């Protein structure tokens, strides 16, 4: 097998991001940026906890009691994501951000913007949004809503499908 066969898929890259952990969001965005920079179409589907990476604000008006509770417990956006391990009451993400800054690695918020600039398509799971009480106006701009059918459509045409 040639080196090109490992690098050049013919279709796009579809990523299902259902984790809201700092490190998993970071990894998904790193792959998305690498693929988009290589010229591949990339779509990230944000489902359940992954939606927290797209949140720009919390809105409580017009929500049921349970939806307000979920909103209050969710991180306020990509800047407040916990790590999957070694979170230590929020110290873990600060530790990793410091290490990343020293090593010249962008933080998830910077990577999210870079992915947008490279044309990565962001799709928020409509069902997850409904269940978690997250409205479209709570998300960053340029996010489309979609369901399982749209995920399957894009994923079936992609050469690479990843789950984080």
Break the chain into its structural domains and give their ranges: 3-13+21-56+68-163
8 Å CB contact between 125 and 116: no
pLDDT of amino acid 74? 84
Judged by DSSP in three states, 127 sits in helix
Contacts of 25 (CB under 8 A, 6+ apart): 17, 19, 50, 53, 78, 81, 108, 164
Give this prediction's pTM: 0.86
pLDDT value, residue 2: 37
Angle at the Cα of 70 from the Cα atoms of 97 and 139, rounded to 5 degrees: 60
The pLDDT value given to residue 10:
63
Answer CATH for 3-13+21-56+68-163 from 3.40.1260.10, 3.90.1660.10, 3.40.50.2030, 3.40.50.1370:
3.40.1260.10
Sheet with strand 42-46: strands edge to edge: 143-146, 121-125, 42-46, 13-17, 160-163
Residue 98 neighbours by CB distance under 10 Å: 10
- Distance in angstroms (rounded) separating the CA atoms of residues 35 and 30: 9
Which 3 state secondary structure label does DSSP give 160? Answer: strand
From first to last of its 164 residues, what are the pLDDT tens digits of the chain? 334 444 445 689 999 999 999 999 999 999 999 999 999 999 999 999 999 999 997 777 888 888 888 888 888 799 999 999 988 888 988 899 999 999 999 999 999 999 999 999 999 999 999 999 999 999 999 999 999 999 999 999 999 999 99
Q: How many residues does the chain have?
A: 164
How many whole angstroms separate alpha carbon 41 and alpha carbon 44? 10
């Amino acid at each position: 097998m040639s080196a090109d066969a490992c690098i050049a898929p013919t279709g796009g890259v579809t990523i299902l991001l259902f984790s809201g952990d700092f490190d998993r969001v970071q990894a998904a965005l790193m792959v998305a940026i690498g693929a988009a920079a290589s010229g591949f179409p990339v779509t990230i589907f944000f489902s359940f906890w992954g939606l927290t990476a797209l949140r720009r604000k919390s809105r409580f008006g017009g929500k049921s009691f349970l939806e307000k509770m979920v909103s209050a417990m969710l991180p306020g956006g990509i800047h407040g994501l916990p790590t999957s391990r070694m979170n230590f009451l929020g110290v873990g993400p600060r530790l990793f951000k410091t290490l990343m800054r020293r090593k010249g690695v962008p933080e998830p918020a910077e990577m999210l913007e870079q992915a947008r600039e490279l044309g990565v398509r962001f799709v928020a799971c409509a069902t997850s949004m409904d269940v978690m009480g997250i409205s479209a106006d709570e998300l960053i701009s340029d996010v489309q809503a979609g369901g399982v059918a749209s995920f399957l459509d894009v994923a079936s045409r992609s050469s690479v499908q990843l789950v984080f």
